[in-house]
Amino acid sequence: MGCRNSKPKTGLKVKIINELRRNTPFNILLKIAELARSTYYYHLACLKRPDKYRQVKQIIRQEFARFYQTYGYRRMGLVLKKHHIKLCLETIRKVMFSMGLQVTLFSKHSGRYNSYHGHIEQVVPNLLKQQFKAQKPYTVLHTDVSQVKLTCGKWGYISTVIDEASNEVLAAKVSSTPNRILIDQTLETVIKKIPATIKPILHSDQGWQYQMTNYQVKLRYHHFIQSMSRKGNCLDNASVESFFSMLKRECLKRVRIASLSELSTLVENYITWYNTQRISLKRHGLTPVEYRKQYLANN
């Protein structure tokens, strides 16, 4: 019969008592630790037994570090399958908990950027209506701008376009100003990646940049179909909102960013990693690029 699962701090108490009992009376140590003698000896026996998850723990520790401490037990389960290790999710959760490996979430407020200035020019209908069901890459795209506070006191702005089907980031540009140039550069990058046979929907909020006539004319010229969220409803553009949240939690809020060039480098490196290495549970363990390639190859 194997050892029962217990809280890590009980095992830690046993280890500490083991170290101190040479110079301190055993009964006093048990009293301080609030442990029964039988409990101490039970956990001591557990500690002396070979750890059947030793090799698994080594792999988990390596992969947890490789993916920047962003993988919980569900994603780790998919990673272990690639190592030909099959464990139930509850076992993986308990093993990671015993190792003290938990995903760190950063939620410090960074100032949400709001580009809505009323009806500057042309607002178009919401074609998606929160029906995020795209499966074919390049058919439905989401775009938005977010801001990040730099340590120098200034703001950096990130404009991006996400593919709804694959969740691949097709474009991301960084600027000190959320102006028309930033939006145009983002759009130009996307245009070069869209196959000529596809007429994608490009969904955004009602930001002033997306209402401008020249922007809308360019979309129509390149056969893009424009769609806009309802006023003040971020759920209408959930795909790109979710990406910005991950970008900040998993990358930007882990470091101090002093300049725009540092921000640009961080964003570029993260997106390369996100597109090519970060697996998705929703897409059965595939990265965004793997999903796109697999879908296009089979359809």
Note the pLDDT of residue 137. 97
CA 138 from centroid of its chain's CA atoms: 21
Residue 234 has pLDDT above 90, yes or no: no
CA 68 to chain centre: 10
DSSP annotation string for 241-299: HHHHHHHHHHTGGGS---SHHHHHHHHHHHHHHHHHT--BTTTTTB-HHHHHHHHHHH-
What's the confidence (pLDDT) of residue 130? 87
Q: Give the pLDDT of residue 6.
A: 45
Q: What is the pTM of this model?
A: 0.70
> What band does 217 get if pLDDT is binned at 50, 70 and 90?
very high
Q: 271-286: string of b/e by CB count within 10 Å (b at 16+)?
A: bebbbeebbbeebebb
pLDDT digits (tens, 9 = 90+) for 75-86: 888 888 888 888
Averaged confidence pLDDT in the chain: 86
Interval 86-116: pLDDT, tens: 888 888 888 888 877 777 654 444 455 665 5
Question: pLDDT confidence of 161, banded at 50, 70, 90?
Answer: very high
Residue 188 makes CB contacts below 8 A (sequence gap 6+) with: none
Q: Which pLDDT score, from 0 to 100, does residue 52 have?
A: 82
Q: In what order do the strands lie in the sheet with 140-149?
A: 169-175, 155-163, 140-149, 201-204, 225-228
Average pLDDT over residues 129-133: 89
Q: Residue 281 above 70 pLDDT?
A: yes
